[in-house]
Amino acid sequence: MNLEKLEKILKENNQPQFRLEQTKKAIFEDSVSSFSEITTIPLDLRKRFEKEIDILSFEVEKILVSNDKRSAKALLRLKDNNCMESVLLSPRPNTWTVCISSQVGCPLGCEFCATGKGGFKRNLTSEEITDQILFWRQYLNRKKFPALSNIVYMGMGEPMLNWENVKKSVEDLIDIKLFNFGSRSISISTVGIKGGIEKFLAEFPQVNLAISLHFADNEMRSKYMPANKAYDLENIKKDLQEYFRKSKRKVFIEYIMFDGINDSLGDAKGLAEYLNSIGNAYLLHVNLISYNKTSGEFISSSKNKIERFKNFLLQNRINATIRKSLGTEIAGACGQLTGK
Known catalytic residues are 85, 334
Instruction: Report what 292 binds from ligand SAH, ligand SF4, none; CB cut-off 5-8 Å by kind.
Output: ligand SAH
Is 106 a residue that touches ligand SF4 (CB under 6 A)?
Answer: yes
**Number of Cβ atoms within 10 Å of the Cβ of 314:** 14
Least Å distance between CB 109 and ligand SF4?
Answer: 6
Instruction: Report what 128 binds from ligand SAH, ligand SF4, none; CB cut-off 5-8 Å by kind.
Output: none
Q: How far apart, in whole angstroms, are the C-alpha atoms of residue 217 and residue 302? A: 22
CB closer to ligand SF4, 138 vs 190: 190
Among the listed residues 123, 165, 294, 301, the single contact to ligand SAH using CB under 6 A:
294
Subset of residues 204 to 263 that bind ligand SF4, contact rule: CB under 6 A = 212
Question: Rounded to the nearest 10 degrees, what angle do helices 163-174 and 196-203 cross at?
Answer: 20
For residue 75, the 8-state DSSP code is E
Is 15 a residue that touches ligand SAH (CB under 6 A)?
Answer: no
Alpha carbon of 114 to those of 59, 161, 212, 297: distances in Å? 23, 18, 15, 12
Among the listed residues 27, 78, 110, 152, the single contact to ligand SF4 using CB under 6 A:
110
The amino acid that residue 233 corresponds to is L
Residues sharing a CB contact under 8 Å with residue 5, sequence separation 6 or more, in sequence order: 52, 53
Is 127 a residue that touches ligand SAH (CB under 6 A)?
Answer: no
Among the listed residues 154, 207, 257, 313, the single contact to ligand SAH using CB under 6 A:
154
Nearest to 58 by CA among 140, 151, 131: 131
Nearest to 88 by CA among 70, 76, 104: 70
Is 84 a residue that touches ligand SF4 (CB under 6 A)?
Answer: no
The residues that touch ligand SAH, with contacts defined as CB under 6 A, are 106, 112-113, 154, 158, 189-191, 212, 254, 256, 289, 291-292, 294, 334-335
